[in-house]
Amino acid sequence: MKKLEFNSMTKSQVRFTGFLYLLVIICAGFSQGYVRANLVVAGDAAATAANILSNEGLFRIGLVADLIAFLLDAVLSVLFYKMLKPYGQSLALVSSSLRLLAHPAIGTLNLLNHYMALHVLGEAGFMQAFEPAKLEALSLFFMEAHRYGYLLAGGFFGIHCLLLGVLLIRSGLIPRVFGFMMMIAGIGYLMETFGDFLFPGNEHWLAWVVGLSAALGEVELTLYMLIKGVKKTSH
């Protein structure tokens, strides 16, 4: 009877976790994959500044969407720990701690760079002492700093995904394939982080690697958790 009660509780918990994870993917995907991808023009400070100023509302929404995702990620870290600690308490604690560091900590602080890219273009009155071209260059500098901050957070998140995959495989709560796919997603994040820093010039295809691996891992896992919850057991 206790086993049945535990499984019932876990199914509800996993579905709620899946719902929050889906919100994180939507918010973060919108901010990174739509807002910044369309407004930031690599190597062109003038074009980037013009895009930001002419789409200021969208730029601000992108920041808020990221902030919502990171706040939800803090909750997800706790839920994953609670759900998976019976299958390795220390491993679950390390995994959740890395997720907390990746986005709620590093990612949130990194949003200052996103905001400052707009702030220097017009909001800060004292910045008017600088020539427009210099302000445009400074704005692009902040967006570049944000990109590198995103990569640093990805290193922590990649290891989290690897450990989360191990815990999911151990738990048997969901099909093992999703645990392996999360490990692949973790490898993708780590490849992008270390690849961009160690081997510059490969950013484009590394971005495709992490995008594809995250889709196979995180998106598939999220949909399974949201729709199925946990596997049915015969106990």
Backbone angles phi, psi at 231, to 5 degrees: -65, 145
Rounded Cα gap, residues 83 and 167, in angstroms: 10
* Assigned domain for 61 exists: yes
Question: Model confidence over 173-224: pLDDT tens digits?
Answer: 899 999 999 999 999 999 999 999 999 989 999 999 999 999 899 999 999 9
Q: How far apart are CA 82 and CA 12, in angstroms?
A: 13
Domain tally, the chain = 1
CA pair distance 187, 214, nearest whole angstrom? 10
Q: pLDDT tens, 83-114? A: 999 999 999 999 999 999 999 999 999 999 99
**136 is in which domain, residue-wise?**
2-227
Let me know if residue 213 belongs to a domain: yes
Q: 3-state secondary structure string, 131-192?
A: CHHHHHHHHHHHHHHHHHHHHHHHHHHHHHHHHHHHHHHHHCCCCHHHHHHHHHHHHHHHHH
pLDDT band with cut points at 50, 70 and 90 for residue 14: confident
Residue 234 maps to a domain: no
- Residue 128 is classified by DSSP as G
Output the average pLDDT for the chain. Answer: 90
Instruction: Decide if 232 is inside a domain.
Output: no
